[in-house]
Structure 1
Amino acid sequence: MALPEIAVRDWFKSSYSAQANDCVETRRLVFELAVRDSKDPGGPALLFAADAWVAFIAGIKSGELA
């Protein structure tokens, strides 16, 4: 997918986030997950392999990455 398409469509904030732009947004891709700063939607996005993102979230939930 071209980067301009990643920058424009289908970004999501956590349901725990306030409606202000002070969090990260994610976007699911075919084999990856894109993450960007909601304060800078035109800025860079980081790409993570799906399994790496799942492990990261599991580490946060378990307190391992607290």
Structure 2
Amino acid sequence: MNEQSEQNKKAWEYRAYEFWHKRDGSPTEKAIQILENPLASLKKHKHHFENVAGNKIANLCGSNGRKEEK
């Protein structure tokens, strides 16, 4: 990994778990919340997931739509 990529990785990961844990609780607590209402996590994108039964879906970006719009 080149130096710039390494710096970006460190910045991206810096205290990320701490942030998510403070905001959303433990991974178990967040999983329970998502399971209670999975579509709520998708916000404005949920209309894309109305007919997905039997399909496989990948979350390539990993943010799960949590990036704030400005």
| TM-score bin (small chain) | under 0.3
Larger radius of gyration: 2
**TM-score of the pair, normalised by structure 1:** 0.26
Bigger fraction of residues in helix: 2
**TM-score of the pair, normalised by structure 2:** 0.25
